[in-house]
């Protein structure tokens, strides 16, 4: 079985590199492709290889998705808020540092995943029904706190509410999108408009500064705090229904400011991203709930692979993904001297084209509306975190049984 695990992990690392580095392609997409080829693959490989490849792809993706968000400023569903401080550091010539901090956060998340998973499996299944309902109250409290302490509570509430309505509209009518990326594919134009194009339109011009790496400017206290907070947030969204990494990003802003502590925030959100993957696996095997497309694909197997085998494949993938992420971070110098305005316009054109290809005209409409909403915070001088209403409001509606 060990050979099957290692082979699956190797295949998953390769697939995760593709999904992590190419915006718009998610590990769920790869899992769906492997599932569609299941009949052919099972003729050559046992289920352990395929399931291990699926989970290894997800783990690898959580490490490498920081690369396009840092250097290009393109967010996906897992890097919606984290893209802001990471891309800012890149514009200051610290892009390699941002990617290395992200990789370190993901590695810390892997180390903390096992004790968190064990604690959750032992303590939470009996309380699951109460937890499912109460999560909406937790998110409502976090949103209320963020709005009250904002620079302008009135504008913060308005942006949160309007983005929330946009989120309900986008997800509620996702069936209008082309099926290329599935109904959840509308998250790509939604979050790219709110946190990608809206930011790039206001970005500075000139040439990209020289990318130099002079070590990690991250105190040990921030490393410990960010790792623990990020892992806790990732465990929360990994276990509970209806939540995502974008929700974890929003929750973390209440304790770690992405503008005041950008490096710690990058570390925390990366830890949350990876822990979410491992806790999603724990929730699947403990309470038979699928938290993402990868778990749904594994659930389709007639012969369920052992949890320990899939977990070991994920741990192997994490080691390989960490080394690859650090290696890719060293390519930061290639961005030195690039015209920022031209790069931003190229990225915007790519996002528009990708939204249309994945979601069709409906994706284009969502992208336009999201960009308009995402542009407001810079006009009224409030933080962009309030655009997370696009994710938080639908999650609250789901938790309260309203959607």
Specify the pTM.
0.80
CA 129 remoteness from chain centre: 26
User: Could you give the number of structural domains in the chain?
Assistant: 1
State both tokens at 67: 């690369």
Distance CA 333, CA 268 (A): 25
State both tokens at 68: 């396009």
pLDDT of amino acid 106: 93
pLDDT of amino acid 133: 66
Angle between helices 153-172 and 128-148 (to 10 degrees): 140
Is the Cβ–Cβ distance between 247 and 85 less than 8 Å? no
Domain that holds residue 156: 2-399
pLDDT of amino acid 180: 59
Determine the Cα angle at 24 with ends 241 and 163, to 5°: 55
Digitized pLDDT (tens) for each residue of the chain, 403 residues in all = 778 888 889 989 998 888 888 776 677 667 667 766 666 776 787 788 888 888 999 999 999 988 888 877 766 666 666 677 887 888 888 888 989 999 999 999 999 988 887 777 776 666 666 666 677 787 788 788 878 878 788 998 999 999 999 999 998 888 888 775 555 678 778 878 887 787 777 765 666 677 777 778 888 888 999 999 988 888 877 777 666 677 777 778 777 877 778 899 999 999 988 998 888 888 887 777 666 667 777 777 777 788 888 889 999 999 999 999 999 888 777 777 677 677 778 878 888 887 888 788 998 999 999 999 988 988 888 877 788 888 788 878 877 777 6
DSSP state letter for 205: -
State both tokens at 394: 């639908």
């Amino acid at each position: 079985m060990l050979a099957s695990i290692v082979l699956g992990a190797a295949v998953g690392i390769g697939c995760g590199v593709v999904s992590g580095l190419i915006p718009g392609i998610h590990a769920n997409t790869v899992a769906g492709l492997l599932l569609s080829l299941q009949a052919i693959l099972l003729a050559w490989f046992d289920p352990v290889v395929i399931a291990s490849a699926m989970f290894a792809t997800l783990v690898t993706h959580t490490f490498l998705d920081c690369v396009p968000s840092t250097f290009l400023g393109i967010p996906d569903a897992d890097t919606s808020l984290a893209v802001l401080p990471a891309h800012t550091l890149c514009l200051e010539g610290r892009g390699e540092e941002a990617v290395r901090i992200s990789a370190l956060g993901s590695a810390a998340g892997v180390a903390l995943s096992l004790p968190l998973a064990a604690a959750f499996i032992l303590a939470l299944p009996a309380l699951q029904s109460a937890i499912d309902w109460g999560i909406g109250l937790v998110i409502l409290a976090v949103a209320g706190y963020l709005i009250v302490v904002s620079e302008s509570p009135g504008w913060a509430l308005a942006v949160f509410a309007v983005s929330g309505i946009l989120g309900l509209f986008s997800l509620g009518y996702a069936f209008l999108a082309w099926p290329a990326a599935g109904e959840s594919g509308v998250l790509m134009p939604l979050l790219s408009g709110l946190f990608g194009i809206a930011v790039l339109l206001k970005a500075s011009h000139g040439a990209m500064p020289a990318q130099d790496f002079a070590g990690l400017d991250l105190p040990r206290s921030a490393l410990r705090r960010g790792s623990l907070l990020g892992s806790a947030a990732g465990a929360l969204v990994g276990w509970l229904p209806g939540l995502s990494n974008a929700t974890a990003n929003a929750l973390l802003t209440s304790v770690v400011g992405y503008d005041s502590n950008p490096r710690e925030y990058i570390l925390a959100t990366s830890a949350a991203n990876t822990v979410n993957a491992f806790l999603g696996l724990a929730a699947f095997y403990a309470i038979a709930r699928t938290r993402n497309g990868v778990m749904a694909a594994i659930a389709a197997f007639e012969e369920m692979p052992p949890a320990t085998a899939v977990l070991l494949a994920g741990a192997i993938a994490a080691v390989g993904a960490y080394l690859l992420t650090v290696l890719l971070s060293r390519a930061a110098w290639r961005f030195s001297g690039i015209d920022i305005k031209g790069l931003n316009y190229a990225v915007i054109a790519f996002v528009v084209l990708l939204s249309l290809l994945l979601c069709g005209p409906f994706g284009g409409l969502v992208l336009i509306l999201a960009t308009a909403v995402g542009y407001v915070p810079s006009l009224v001088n409030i933080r962009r975190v309030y655009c997370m209403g696009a994710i938080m409001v639908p999650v609250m509606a789901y938790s309260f049984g309203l959607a």
